[in-house]
Structure 1
């Protein structure tokens, strides 16, 4: 209800202020698709915008592309989930400081028929090894996203290179999580997905969660201000204000209150 009131107030303000609203400060956030597709950003941003008067414009792409966009100066804030790459982004001088923001987890989903016989397991490496041994269809994002990076890290740990069989049992979509889940559901295939996108996905068909709970499926998100010394056009003050809000008590409470199917989806851990 409170979210609806805020949205109504923002719409009213836009209608009454006319062109003055367009002159308000704004920031561009390069973000991973899961924060957008799950509905999290649509849920929390009106609170920040109403409090700050800063409009937040989101570019939702895979983590790898978001980082490249930020390196090119096409954004003020980076919000993604590939910690090693985020730390390298800062070490290379493209970002000012990386902060933990929130976490959730990945899950391995697949067809109810489960040809690899992995249902109920909690070891992702054992599960992927069984999928490969069965030549069971597996769909990968193949897009350098945070989810794809995590998936490939697990394959490396199994000493299996599935890309050698790309086009047979292993398929790469080069697309986002929603599109990849659509392909998996159409093929009765296995795939790795973040839990938030899975819960918000409406075309599950014959798919279900088969493997979850492995600590290696932990999924940490971070937030970084793009370095204005690299790109003078960065709106550093407004971007930092957004980061301070996200990692402060109001933003962390907003993240915690977001739910899908009555389940908490993201767990704030900035502090």
Structure 2
């Protein structure tokens, strides 16, 4: 067993800080992935696709000189890598999965980083060219949902139309924060979506949006990706503003590895300088937790 190869002094020092089994796991993780100069941060695909992650990497390098590498993926996948010690820090938007790992003592130092919100977007019918001197009417979605603020009611109408062959919905990929949010919204609507109209996306948030755009389908999309994407010309915002569409990002550290820059990164990211960087990031993220 790898843990038995460490010195007695190191073992005694670690015993006061963490359970033996957890510390042995940390030793094995260190042997599996030696620390490099750069801090390895796993980020939700939405943060990568919106440009948020690159912005933060550049900002902290400019402010502190700290080298950070980011690897994108579904939130639940990033949390699994964090628990295994394959990344030093993770920034995700899957609150239930994050809290479950915290309760088990598998991650620590969880901190709020940013908030945004999801949008329900859908196909838009573009009006014919207006008569000269008259203002063109705004685009309208085929189901007449645009302008609503009740996402559950919109999903009920969407499912009815889908079952009648009048609408498509592209669901986020598994293990993503968007997928977890989407499931909770269908539950709020009292529905279990199924049928040919309910189609699963492949890839991250930007790819999900692009697939919905190509198919002329409705989609739940992170606002940060929506604002920065160029692959949404056939779609428009249908529902926004519902409190249930709130989206929260948290950062946390792994127990299995202890990169010396991990705490520095979180201190910077959640401190005054980091919060300013978050507020200036592409995608319209907020560095403050909304009230209510």
TM-score, length-normalised on structure 2?
Answer: 0.77
Measure how far apart 1:141 and its partner are: 1.4
2:198 aligned to which of 170, 187, 191: 170
Is the counterpart of residue 212 in structure 1 residue 231 in structure 2?
no
- SS, match of residue 41 in structure 2: strand
Partners of 2:262 and 2:289 in 1: CA distance:
17
Q: Deviation string for 1:61-89 (max 9, x for gaps)?
A: 11111111112211010100111211111
Are the structure 2 counterparts of residues 270 and 28 from structure 1 closer, same or farther at C-alpha, using a change threshold of 3 Å?
farther
Aligned pairs for 1:179-258 within 5 A? 179-227=207-255, 231=256, 233-235=257-259, 237-258=260-281
Query: Match of 1:5?
Result: none
Which structure's residues are more often strand, by fraction?
A: 1
In structure 2, which of residues 177, 187, 195 is the aligned counterpart of residue 156 of structure 1?
A: 187
Contact 1:24 1:54 in 2 (8 A): no
CA contact (8 A) 2:46 2:206 kept: no
Q: How many residues align?
A: 237
Q: How does 1:90-101 map to 2 (within 5 A)?
A: 90-101=102-113
2:174 aligns to what? Answer: 143
Farther off after superposition, 89-98 or 49-58 = 49-58
Q: Counterpart of 1:120?
A: 147
**Counterpart position of 2:287:** 268
Structure 2 CA distance for aligned equivalents of residues 51 and 44 of structure 1: 10
Structure 1 residue 59 displacement after superposition: 0.9
- Find the counterpart in structure 1 of residue 79 from structure 2: 67
Q: Does the Cα contact within 8 Å between 1:143 and 1:176 map onto a contact in 2?
A: no
What RMSD, in angstroms, separates the aligned Cα atoms of the two structures? 1.8
1:145 CA displacement: 0.5
Q: Distance in 2 between matches of 1:225 and 1:169?
A: 40
Local SS of the residue matching 2:261: helix
CA distance in 2, matches of 1:174, 1:94: 29
Q: Unmatched 5+ residue regions in structure 1?
A: 1-22
